[in-house]
Amino acid sequence: MSTIQITLSEPLQRFVTKQAAELGLDQPDQYIEQLLEEERRKKRDEYYYQKCLEGLASGATIPITPGFWDEIADEVERELYGIRSRVVQ
């Protein structure tokens, strides 16, 4: 783990210390780390949400039938067989 040094105003330092204590954390830096992790999760979730929206808007939908997954599995198997046969030769 790496270290970063930050300077906080006295009121902010008191706030961080109080929040850490209320959450049962041993050190104020754990509170800040928790905030940063939460922000990182939010950014990640937003990224994937946007990607899902892009996917939904990307074109016509296709029906997913029970046979669809079998077709996908067959296609993957053919691709793998093709790769294996080229490697063996």
In this prediction, residue 62 carries a pLDDT of 84
- Sorted by where each begins, the domain ranges of the chain are 10-88
pLDDT digits (tens, 9 = 90+) for 17-74: 999 999 999 999 999 999 999 999 999 999 999 999 999 899 888 888 889 999 999 9
pLDDT given at position 89: 58
Looking at the whole model, is its pTM more than 0.75?
Answer: no
Average of pLDDT values for 6-12? 96
What is the pLDDT confidence band of residue 85, given thresholds at 50, 70 and 90?
Answer: low
Q: Determine the Cα–Cα distance for residues 28 and 6; give it in Å rounded to an integer.
A: 12
Alpha carbon 73 to its chain's center: 27
Q: What angle do CA 79, 82, 85 make, to 5 degrees?
A: 150
